[in-house]
Amino acid sequence: MRYFIELQYNGSAFCGWQRQTDRPSVQQTIEQALSTLLRHEIAITGAGRTDTGVHALYYVAHFDTETPLPDPAHTVYKANLLLPEGVALRSIAPVNDEAHARFSALSREYRYIVSPRKNPFTRDTSWQYYVPLDTERMNRAAAALLEYEDFTSFAKLNSNNRTNICRIDHAAWTTERDGTLRFTIRADRFLRNMVRAVVGTLVDVGRGRYTPEEFRAIIESRDLARASSSAPAQGLFLSDVRYPEALFRRTVTD
């Protein structure tokens, strides 16, 4: 029987989502907890990779088990007692055996947080960047992302992507009351390191290194060397994964 897990994690202590042979990963940490709890080996499949230091406000994974869980909510409770503080399961729900946490997803959404001041309490969850940024210029540049599908300019070198085509349907900056900047971007898929490369380049638009028109030219160039350095990992959060409603509907909020 197949189950979907809704979960959150702080990526600061992990080398990313994907299982590693010699370093701690979120995937392996959850597998160990569930295997201990259910008393047989559990392998989980996630909605996608996140890199070292990247967080997830909302993440979905699936696992299979021959014996149905009598009380999924109690399983969540017990698993959270075994998991470290940086990982929290929110729900476990049965789904159709054909449902797949990665391949069934319609879209994914990321948030990136830029803090304009030094704050010891958000050091691991934001990019503390002290240069004033023009968000109007950044949003004019970000709007161009919706007009293109080839994002080779923001693809990680030697990442072995089958295609660099992504369809972005939302990309915008907002400013919180305390001056914190939030970038939200949603697409059917993302390339490895793509969001951080986009954010790093948009920040350079905001500080005046590039114009919005030059940002458009960077996209059109399909040249990774034209993009800016990637934004730091700690400001990035996977914030949503959407599925067909008939298959799975999100049950938890941030």
Please tell me the distance from the alpha carbon of residue 182 to that of residue 49, in angstroms, as a whole number: 21
Residue 34 belongs to a domain? yes
* DSSP E strands, the chain: 2-9, 44-46, 55-64, 87-95, 107-115, 127-128, 168-175, 181-187, 236-242
For residue 156, what pLDDT is reported?
83
Q: How many CB atoms lie within 10 A of CB 50?
A: 24
* Domains identified in the chain, total number: 2
- Among candidates 225, 125, 240, which has minimal Cα distance to 186? 240
Residue 252 belongs to a domain? no
Looking at the structure, do residues 49 and 72 belong to the same domain, yes or no?
A: yes
Among residues 52, 84, 104, which one ends one of the domains?
A: 104
Please tell me the distance from the alpha carbon of residue 235 to that of residue 54, in angstroms, as a whole number: 7
Please tell me the distance from the alpha carbon of residue 206 to that of residue 211, in angstroms, as a whole number: 8
For residue 219, what pLDDT is reported?
98
For residue 253, what pLDDT is reported?
78
Looking at the structure, do residues 209 and 195 belong to the same domain, yes or no?
A: yes
Q: In the predicted model, is pLDDT for residue 38 greater than 90? A: yes
Please tell me the distance from the alpha carbon of residue 103 to that of residue 26, in angstroms, as a whole number: 19
Residue 247 belongs to a domain? no
CATH code (residue 126): 3.30.70.660
- Using 50, 70 and 90 to split pLDDT, how confident is the model at 65? very high
3-state class of 44 per DSSP? strand
Looking at the structure, do residues 223 and 122 belong to the same domain, yes or no?
A: yes
Range of the domain at 39: 2-104
Among residues 59, 79, 104, which one ends one of the domains?
A: 104
Q: Could you report the per-residue pLDDT of 192-217, keeping only the tens digit for each? A: 999 999 999 999 999 999 999 999 99
Residue 44 belongs to a domain? yes
CATH code (residue 51): 3.30.70.580
For residue 22, what pLDDT is reported?
86
Instruction: Give me the catalytic one of 51, 97, 150, 178.
Output: 51
Among residues 104, 123, 150, which one ends one of the domains?
A: 104
List beta partners, residue 173: 183
- Report the length, in residues, of the chain: 254
Residue 124 annotated among the catalytic residues of the structure? no
- Using 50, 70 and 90 to split pLDDT, how confident is the model at 32? very high
pTM of the model: 0.95
For residue 114, what pLDDT is reported?
98
Q: Are the CB atoms for 204 and 62 separated by under 8 Å?
A: no
Residue 248 belongs to a domain? no
> Lowest-confidence range among 16-20, 132-136, 159-163, 205-209?
159-163
